[in-house]
């Protein structure tokens, strides 16, 4: 079996959905399981719904209707017959969403988040599945939530691999095309959980691992894995082949093409990963597989914007020792702060981090009781794998360097534009 994953950009409108059908007709669809994300920027739109819900905003109903309207237009563009069952199924999902918003009693933001944003994937896969069937490409729609079981860490569910594998093996059907949702799972009480933002890649890897798949292909709007994000760097180069190790390093440092958690389960079973273009499906793209000889022969650039550079120093000029660092990282974990770079001296400790859950100011208040706290907002973290003098100059030109850290293979620089 092969696992294909299509992200939101590939199904952002009716033309995109038709193109996904074209991709499958071009490369083959027998014994394929397709994982699909929410359409376009639907997750962002549903996050606005959640924001309006908690703020008791008058815009709540309008923001929900905007999401419904967007999807209804795609359905109208794909189906001439307005009596087609897809209209009923899509409206049923949105009715369920509105019912949850009306009836929910939980004040837990992360719980509400997962219950609401999940409708993006449920609706997108419903539309795609119906459209494929209408075009003669028979398929089975699968609700992924009963299959991928997680704990109740809402917004970052941790997979119970043993139960999940049993569920997936039981549900997967050989030789037929199957369509399911990325990003989603459920806890032991069957409440929806999500696997972390951009977690659809991870979903594809979970299915591949559990089924011992032949390969995973992530279909993107780029020709494969590039050595740099073309939005920030000129003359980005396609990496034809890279090793699992290199891909994990790139993902860890923030390369957006592959989700960080995607690669570990694939590496364990040596399942090859392909990153290919849904705009040019016959091109080779990038292959990720086992082999030390697959390291890039060029520098690779990764940039993370909107970072925070936090510096702590002891109030009484005492050393910052292991017990202090342990306490600091305990607070990072408690506030779900993602740390991307660490540097310390005898009396100071600096970290580059991202405030994913908007808890940084609360953390600062706590840290200020024991440390002198300073920080810079909106800094950029550049990581260069396989760096040389020229690549460093590319990054540092016209920027203020706040922090620099060098290891054998990797250079990291925190800058202020």
Cα separation of the two ends of the chain = 47
Radius of gyration of the chain (CA): 23
- The answer to whether 8 is a known ligand-binding residue is yes
Q: What is the pLDDT of residue 55?
A: 97
Q: What is the pLDDT of residue 245?
A: 87
In a domain? residue 240? no
Q: Which domain holds residue 317?
A: 300-416
Q: What is the pLDDT of residue 258?
A: 81
In a domain? residue 93? yes
Contacts of 18 (CB under 8 A, 6+ apart): 78, 131
- The answer to whether 254 is a known ligand-binding residue is no
Count of structural domains, the chain:
2
- The answer to whether 121 is a known ligand-binding residue is yes
Q: Residue 169, Cα to own-chain centre: how many angstroms?
A: 24
Q: Is the separation of the CB atoms in 121 and 36 below 8 Å?
A: yes
- Position 110 confidence tier, pLDDT thresholds 50, 70, 90: very high
> Within this chain, do residues 207 and 313 fall inside the same structural domain, yes or no?
no
> Within this chain, do residues 202 and 324 fall inside the same structural domain, yes or no?
no
- Position 124 confidence tier, pLDDT thresholds 50, 70, 90: very high
> Within this chain, do residues 145 and 19 fall inside the same structural domain, yes or no?
yes
Q: Is the separation of the CB atoms in 382 and 413 below 8 Å?
A: yes
> Within this chain, do residues 184 and 41 fall inside the same structural domain, yes or no?
yes
Q: Is the separation of the CB atoms in 87 and 134 below 8 Å?
A: no
Q: What is the pLDDT of residue 320?
A: 76
In a domain? residue 188? yes
What is the side-by-side order of every strand in the sheet holding 32-36?
139-142, 177-181, 32-36, 2-6, 215-220, 273-277, 286-289, 241-243
- Position 69 confidence tier, pLDDT thresholds 50, 70, 90: very high
> Within this chain, do residues 200 and 330 fall inside the same structural domain, yes or no?
no
> Within this chain, do residues 208 and 305 fall inside the same structural domain, yes or no?
no
pLDDT at 256 over 80: no
In a domain? residue 278? no
In a domain? residue 124? yes
The CATH number for 14's domain is 3.40.1160.10
Q: What is the pLDDT of residue 174?
A: 77
Q: Residue 91, Cα to own-chain centre: how many angstroms?
A: 27
In a domain? residue 272? no
- The answer to whether 100 is a known ligand-binding residue is no
Q: Is the separation of the CB atoms in 355 and 339 below 8 Å?
A: no
| Final residue belonging to a domain, choices 213, 248, 269 | 213
- The answer to whether 82 is a known ligand-binding residue is no
> Within this chain, do residues 353 and 207 fall inside the same structural domain, yes or no?
no
Across 372-400, average pLDDT: 94
- The answer to whether 7 is a known ligand-binding residue is yes
- The answer to whether 5 is a known ligand-binding residue is yes
Q: What is the pLDDT of residue 178?
A: 97
The CATH number for 311's domain is 3.30.2130.10
Task: Give Cα separations from 184 to 119, 142, 159, 256 (angstroms).
Answer: 10, 12, 11, 19
More confident residue, 128 or 232: 128
In a domain? residue 236? no
What is the side-by-side order of every strand in the sheet holding 410-416?
338-344, 348-354, 300-314, 371-385, 410-416, 400-406
Q: What is the pLDDT of residue 44?
A: 96
| Final residue belonging to a domain, choices 213, 234, 250 | 213
pLDDT at 295 over 80: no
- Position 126 confidence tier, pLDDT thresholds 50, 70, 90: very high
| Final residue belonging to a domain, choices 184, 213, 242 | 213
- Position 292 confidence tier, pLDDT thresholds 50, 70, 90: low
Q: How large a percentage of the chain has pLDDT more than 90?
A: 83
> Within this chain, do residues 312 and 207 fall inside the same structural domain, yes or no?
no
> Within this chain, do residues 177 and 320 fall inside the same structural domain, yes or no?
no
Model confidence over 162-171: pLDDT tens digits?
A: 999 999 999 9
In a domain? residue 390? yes
d(CA 252, CA 263): 10
């Amino acid at each position: 079996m092969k696992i294909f994953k299509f992200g939101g950009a590939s199904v952002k409108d009716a033309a995109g959905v038709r193109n996904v059908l074209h991709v499958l007709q071009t490369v083959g669809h027998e014994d394929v399981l397709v994982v699909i994300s929410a359409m376009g920027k639907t997750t962002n739109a549903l996050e606005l719904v959640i924001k309006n819900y908690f703020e008791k905003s008058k815009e709540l109903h309008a923001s929900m209707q905007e999401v419904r309207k967007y999807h209804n237009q795609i359905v109208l563009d794909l189906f001439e017959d307005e009596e087609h069952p897809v209209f009923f199924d899509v409206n049923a999902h949105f009715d369920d969403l509105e019912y949850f918003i009306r009836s929910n009693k939980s004040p837990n933001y992360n719980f509400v988040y997962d219950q609401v944003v999940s409708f993006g994937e449920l609706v997108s896969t419903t539309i795609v599945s119906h459209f494929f069937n209408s075009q003669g490409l028979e398929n089975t729609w699968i609700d992924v939530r009963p299959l991928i079981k997680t704990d109740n860490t809402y917004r970052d569910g941790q997979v119970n691999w043993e139960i999940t594998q049993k569920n997936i093996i039981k549900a997967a059907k050989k030789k037929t095309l199957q369509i399911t949702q990325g990003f989603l799972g459920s806890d032991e009480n069957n409440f929806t959980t999500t696997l972390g933002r951009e977690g659809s890649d991870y979903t594809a890897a979970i299915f591949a691992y559990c089924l011992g798949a032949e390969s995973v292909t992530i279909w993107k709007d780029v020709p494969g894995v590039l050595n740099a994000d073309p939005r920030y760097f000129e003359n980005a180069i396609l990496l034809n082949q890279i090793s699992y190790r290199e891909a994990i390093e790139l993902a860890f440092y923030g390369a957006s093409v592959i989700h960080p958690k995607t690669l570990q389960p694939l590496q364990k079973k040596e399942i090859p990963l392909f990153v290919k273009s849904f705009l040019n499906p016959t091109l080779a793209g990038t292959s990720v597989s086992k082999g030390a000889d697959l390291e890039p022969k060029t520098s690779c650039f990764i940039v993370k914007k909107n970072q925070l550079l936090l510096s702590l120093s002891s109030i009484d000029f005492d050393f910052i020792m292991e017990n202090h660092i342990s306490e600091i990282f305990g607070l990072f974990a408690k506030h779900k702060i993602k740390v991307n770079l660490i540097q310390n001296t005898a009396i100071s400790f600096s970290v580059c981090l991202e405030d994913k859950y908007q808890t940084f100011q609360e953390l600062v208040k706590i840290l200020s009781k024991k440390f002198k706290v300073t920080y810079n907002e909106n800094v950029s973290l550049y990581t260069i794998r396989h760096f040389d003098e020229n690549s460093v100059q590319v990054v540092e030109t016209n920027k203020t360097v706040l922090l620099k850290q060098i290891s054998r293979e990797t250079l990291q620089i925190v800058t202020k534009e």
